[in-house]
Structure formats: structure tokens, C-alpha cells
Amino acid sequence: MTFSLRLMAATLEDIAWNLDPLVDNEGEAGVDRLLAEAQERSAAFAERHQGKLAELDGPQLAEAIADLQEISELVGRAGTYAMLRFATNTADPQNGALLQRVQEKATVVETRLVFFELEWAELDDDRVETLLQADGLDTARHHLRTIRRYRPHLLTEAEEKLMSEKAVTGRDAWTRLFNELTSAIEVDLGGEKMALDVALAKLMSSDRELRAQVQQSVTDALQPTLRTRAFVFNTLMADKATDDRLRRYPSWISGRNLANEASDESVQALVEAVRSAYDIPQRWYRLKARLLGIDKLVDYDRMASVASADESFDWDEAKQIVLDSFADFSGVMADSARQFFDEHWIDAPPRPGKRGGAFCSYAVPGAHPYVMLNYTSRRRDVLTLAHELGHGVHAALARPRGIFEHHTPLTLSETASVFGETLVFRRLLDQAATPESRLTLLAEHVEGSIATVFRQVAMNRFEDLAHSARRSEGELSIDRLGALWEQSQHEMLGDSVEITDNYRCWWSYVPHFIGTPGYVYAYAYGQLLALSVYGRYAEEGEAFVPRYIELLSAGGSRSPEELAAIAGLDLTDPGFWARGLELVRGQLGAAEEAAAATLNE
Ligand SMILES: [Zn+2]
């Protein structure tokens, strides 16, 4: 009965998410109703509590928190609906207008409630600990404690207000100028004009001449506003030095570490461990040169694809592989993932006007998460499906933690996605039909780790050199910045990759250096932590499963150290990062073996 079989199998085009439950099937009117309710309740909340937080007793605090959680859910529901509707059709002006409206109204609500965190941070420690004993705070205690970690670095209320108001025409304006300058960069590739991202993607081409030409064209395109972008970077580094001095941060990275709930020592230990394993990227790039049939890689060869012909997977195959891989690990995980398919929480096919890439939206704990993909039937897409469903299962299991502790700290946010992806990666590796297909998969795996661990730490080294130099030497010239960039890249690559003079200005389009200084190491931190979680499973097998489910269910209700401890990992152990790096070394070893098989050695 092929007819009934065909009825059962959904085609890719039908895999669209259903956003109606977010707004009680009321569409835009539902969004406006949610926001109106949030505005009304936030005004009432401010009326009742502003300036009076110190007078609350424990039960009253619990009541206030419940109120805040409900207001956040209202805004979160409206925001999620508008954001997801926009993501699937960015070309419809009605969707853009809705998103803008939601953002403006949400800002009004947030601004009205800012006093709560400020007044909470001002209370003294003893009082806070007494208040936190109250019943009804189970989904907020960690959140309430972490808000207070900025306490030693806060200025007076008048100064804070001045800082945030002046930032609009200061730091924020400089950041926007930088973004506008980089967005306007147009690369002329043999007469064809294209955006910077489009040109950079061509570095993956297997045609070496094209790659060299792309590198030259990108370098040329980076020149015209380079002086201005370097000035913006200099200004923002000086601005940060002033902020750090006023806020009493001991180093340029301390504020970022505090935001990540990571100690300066643990971040230092991570960076040093990765630097002492730079032989891993160097070994890979030497092997890659042989796979590409060239003597030695030049900077423009690093991204080149070593892929042979790709295998293709239709939607139902992908779904089956992912669910089977998850089920082999745990029924809880497979059941949670199956809900995404059964209840229309996934939007899968590429469509005109749809946002590129893939993501998981946690939405709000009162609703359920959503996953967006641009599924094109490549093997890479199956891994992406597993990655996003890993996030999705995490979000679904952590729903009971409530809206303040739903999300994990940034450093753990990729744990479940990398884990889900690794489960499926293992299965695809077992199924790979030819040595070439196996090598492609392993090569992508190693390069993923190199990009997330080593490249980000080298970028962190550049930031460290630049911020330190800006503080001791004053304004840095384009030449000086280029030298620091080269120094940080050369340290990672050694003699495995030739760095040309052209490459010296390639720091100048990276938005993280400008908008979120110090951010990049979090990728390395998160990836090594996530690999280590999988490493525990590889060692312990079955016994690990309940601990993993407990870890995901804990959401963001504990510190990174405490969450990692659930999985049996000790982040305070000085050898922790080195062991994580051994897992990457294992990936490299597997890729080297697969390469030997195809190079006929
Ligand atoms: Zn992710």
C-alpha cells in the first residue's frame, strides 16, 4: 500500500511551525493584548515597589518575584511570536513593523522595571540571605544571587544613569558607525560586486586561484575605511579602559568573566591550556595541505573544502536518524525531540524571504521551544537538525525552572547542542559508505573544533594584546594593530600556514571586537565543556544518562561550576581543559587515519 505510506510521510514543504499557541490563536491582536497587559502590570508593579524594595519581607518578595515572572512571560510570548514570524518571512513589511512595535513596547516595560535589580543589588548581604530563605523562591534564588555579583562594580545611581544615557551617543554610536562601515564594504571580485560575507564564503572553494583572488579582493575592499575603523576600535578600547577604572575591574577581561559567571583564574587556565595545544591546528593544516595537494597552506587556503561528493538525506531519513540516535542514548531525550516533529515546533524548508541559517528559540517556559532550519538535504543539514534539537530538548526539559532560570549561563549554552550533534555524528560515521565520505565527515568535525576552540582563543590573544597595548602605549596605528593581529595568528599557526601581508588587516571586520569585547573565548570554553560532557558519557555509558537529563533539567538554576559538577566534571581542576583538548586530539587522530586511507599510504 504505497498510497497510505505516502500519506504518512510528510514532505519537507509541509514542515512549518505553528505559532498560534503563543498568542492564543489571536495573531497580531493577541500580541497587542499581551503587551497591553504587560504595560499595565509593570506600571502597577513600579507603583507598588519602586523605592520600597528594602521594606519587603520574605513572603512579599516571593509574591513580587511571581509577579515579575508573569510580566516577563507576557513580554516573552509577544516577542517570540513577532521574532519567529519575522524570521520565516523577513520581506513582509507587516512582520518588520510588528517586530519593531514589540521591541519598542517591551523596552518601555523593561525600563520601568530596571529599579528592581538596582535596589536589589543595594541591599546588604545578611538581609538578602534572610529574604532568600522564604518559600516560593525556588525558581529565582540563583537568579537573585547572580544579579548581585555586579555589586562591587556599581556606581551611584546618579552616575549609573549618566553612564547609560551618555552611552547612546558614545559607545553605542561608535559601535553603530563601525557596523555601518563594515556592512557597506563591497568586494569587487573580477568585476562582480558582492557583500563581504558572500566573498568570504568563497574561500571554501576548491579552486585555489579563486581563493587567492578572493583574498586580494577582500583585502582591497577592507582598505577604504580602515583608518576610520581603526580609530573606532582605538576609541572604544580607551572608553573601556575608563569604564574599567571607574568600576574597579582589575583587567580588561574581568567584566566579561563576571558576566559569564567565570573566574579570572579559570579563564586564564583555559587560554593557557589551548595555547599549549597549538600543535593540534598546526598538525591539521599540514595534513590539509597534503589533502589539497599543495606544499604549504597560505592564509587563504585555510577554509578550503576537502569534501568529496556529498550524500543526500530526505527529511524523513533525517528525522529517523536523529530520533534513533537520541533514543539509543535515552528515551526521555527521544520523546522530547519527537514532540518537535509531532506538534509543529519546527520550520524546516528554505523559502524566499526566510532568514538564513538555523536556530532554536527557547520562547518562554509557559509555552514551548521552536526550531528553525533551512533544510537542503545535505549531510551537514542532518547534523544541524541534531544540533538545534539538542538545544530544543534542553529548553523543553528546563521549562519547570521558570523564565529567570530557563537559559543556562552562556558558557553552557552549547552543551546540549554539541551533545546531540555528536550522537548523530557517530551514527553517520558508522554509516559512511566510502573512505572519502568518512574523511569528509571527520575533516568537518576537526575543523569545527579548530574554529571554535583555537581560532577563538587566538582572537582572544589579539584582543589581549590590543587592549594591553592601548592602555600602555596610547593610540595604536593600523600598522601596530596589524602586527598584533599577525603575532596572535602566527602563534597559533606556527609554520603550518603562511600569513601574507594582505592578511594583516583582517581583524578589521570582526564585530565582536567592537560590540562585545572579550566575548570570543566563551566559544572555546563552551565547546571544550560540551565535548567533555560527551567524554563522560563515552567513559561511563548508561550510568551517565540520568545525570545528563538532570543537567539539562537544571537549566540556568546554578553556576557553571555547579552545573558541570552534575555531569561529574570539575571546572576548578587545573587539568580540566587539557583533558578536553585530548578529546580534540582524538578527533584529529581519527581524521589523520581516515586521510591515510584515502591517500593510499
Ligand atoms: Zn548552537
DSSP state of 476: P
Distance 52 CA to ligand 1 centre (A): 41
* Contact yes or no for 471/252 (Cβ under 8 A): yes
Residue ranges of the alpha helices (H) in 276-431?
A: 279-292, 315-329, 331-342, 379-397, 415-431
Please give the backbone phi and psi of residue 284, each rounded to the nearest 5 degrees, phi first: -65, -45
Distance 384 CA to ligand 1 centre (A): 9
Distance 101 CA to ligand 1 centre (A): 28
Distance 189 CA to ligand 1 centre (A): 32
Distance 177 CA to ligand 1 centre (A): 28
The number of beta carbons lying within 10 Å of the beta carbon of residue 144 is 17
Checking 544-551 for CB contacts under 8 A at 24+ apart, the result is: 544/568, 545/329, 545/330, 548/330, 548/419, 549/330, 549/332, 549/333, 549/397, 551/415
Distance between CA atoms of 154 and 119, rounded to whole angstroms?
12
Distance 528 CA to ligand 1 centre (A): 14
Q: What is the pLDDT of residue 315?
A: 96
Distance 413 CA to ligand 1 centre (A): 7
Low-confidence ranges of the chain (pLDDT < 70): 1-10, 309, 601
Distance between CA atoms of 393 and 375, rounded to whole angstroms?
19
Distance 424 CA to ligand 1 centre (A): 15
Which residues make beta-bridge pairs with 298?
A: 498
Distance between CA atoms of 580 and 449, rounded to whole angstroms?
11
Distance 421 CA to ligand 1 centre (A): 10
Q: Helix (H, G, I), strand (E, B), or coil: what is residue 470?
A: helix
- Any residues with CB less than 8 A from the CB of 9 and at least 6 apart, and which? 316
Residue 197 identity (one-letter amino acid): D
Measure CA of the first residue to CA of the last residue in the chain; give whole Å: 50
Q: Which single residue is written with the C-alpha cell 509543529?
A: 344
Which residues make beta-bridge pairs with 379?
A: none
Distance 261 CA to ligand 1 centre (A): 19
Distance 395 CA to ligand 1 centre (A): 12
Distance 414 CA to ligand 1 centre (A): 5
Distance 371 CA to ligand 1 centre (A): 11
Q: Which single residue is written with the C-alpha cell 521551544?
A: 369
Checking 289-292 for CB contacts under 8 A at 24+ apart, the result is: 289/496, 290/595, 290/599, 291/439, 291/443, 291/595, 291/598, 291/599, 292/208
Q: What is the pLDDT of residue 509?
A: 94
Distance 388 CA to ligand 1 centre (A): 6
Cell numbers describing residue 352: 524566499
Distance 87 CA to ligand 1 centre (A): 17
Distance 387 CA to ligand 1 centre (A): 6
Distance 381 CA to ligand 1 centre (A): 13
Distance 216 CA to ligand 1 centre (A): 32
| Percentage, residues of the chain above pLDDT 90 | 81
Taking alpha carbons only, the member of 404, 397, 364, 346 closest to residue 80 is 364
What would you report as the CA-atom Rg of the chain, rounded to the nearest whole angstrom?
Answer: 25
Distance between CA atoms of 507 and 481, rounded to whole angstroms?
8
Distance 406 CA to ligand 1 centre (A): 16
Distance 359 CA to ligand 1 centre (A): 7
Distance 360 CA to ligand 1 centre (A): 8
Distance between CA atoms of 346 and 375, rounded to whole angstroms?
11
Distance 148 CA to ligand 1 centre (A): 28
- Any residues with CB less than 8 A from the CB of 79 and at least 6 apart, and which? 102, 103, 106
Residue 373 identity (one-letter amino acid): L
Which residues make beta-bridge pairs with 193?
A: 188
Distance 66 CA to ligand 1 centre (A): 30
Distance 417 CA to ligand 1 centre (A): 6
Distance 415 CA to ligand 1 centre (A): 9
The H or E element that residue 193 is part of is strand 192-195
Determine the angle formed by the axes of helices 521-540 and 415-431, rounding to 10 degrees: 60
Distance 452 CA to ligand 1 centre (A): 12
Q: What is the pLDDT of residue 217?
A: 98
Distance 162 CA to ligand 1 centre (A): 36
Distance between CA atoms of 203 and 188, rounded to whole angstroms?
15
Distance 385 CA to ligand 1 centre (A): 11
Q: What is the pLDDT of residue 176?
A: 87
96-141 tens-digit pLDDT: 999 999 988 998 898 899 899 889 999 999 999 999 999 999 999 9
Cell numbers describing residue 172: 553605542
Distance 391 CA to ligand 1 centre (A): 7
